[in-house]
């Protein structure tokens, strides 16, 4: 997932745990997607200008100078008309008695 021209890149992580990292950034939204060192991540907490991201593949090997690039939008999922409005359990099985 490559960045676009003139997209701000942050490179100073202030905290790294097993699954999250924190970077000082502004203009970022809750649940926004990003990449950290090339790994997909999502904003899970914002306090002032401290943005915490959950890195889906874990943080092992990510340094404090890893590049953080925000996408400017939360994740989206397109579904067919047959799935829209349905309810599913954690395993993706329908639980609403629909077709």
Closest to 53 (Cα-Cα) out of 63, 42, 64: 42
Residue 71 · residue 40 · CB < 8 Å: no
pLDDT in tens, 17-45: 999 999 999 999 999 999 999 999 999 99
How many other C-beta atoms lie within 10 A of the C-beta of residue 24?
Answer: 13
Whether the model clears a pTM of 0.85, i.e. scores above it, the answer is no
- The strand pair at 68-70 and 33-36 is best described as antiparallel
Q: Class of 1-99 per CATH? A: mainly beta
Residue 2: predicted pLDDT? 55
Domain ranges in the chain are 1-99
Rg of the chain over CA atoms, in angstroms? 16
End-to-end Cα, the chain, rounded Å? 36
Would the pLDDT of 3 be above 60? no
């Amino acid at each position: 997932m490559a960045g676009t021209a003139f997209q701000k890149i942050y490179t100073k992580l202030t905290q790294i745990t097993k699954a999250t990292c924190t970077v000082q950034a502004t203009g970022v939204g809750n649940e926004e997607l990003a990449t950290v060192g090339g790994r997909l991540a999502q904003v899970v907490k914002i306090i002032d200008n401290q943005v915490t991201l959950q890195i889906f593949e874990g943080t092992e090997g990510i340094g404090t100078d890893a590049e953080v690039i925000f996408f400017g939008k939360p994740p989206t999922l397109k579904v067919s008309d047959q799935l829209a409005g349905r309810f599913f359990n954690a395993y993706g099985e329908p639980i609403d008695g629909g077709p």
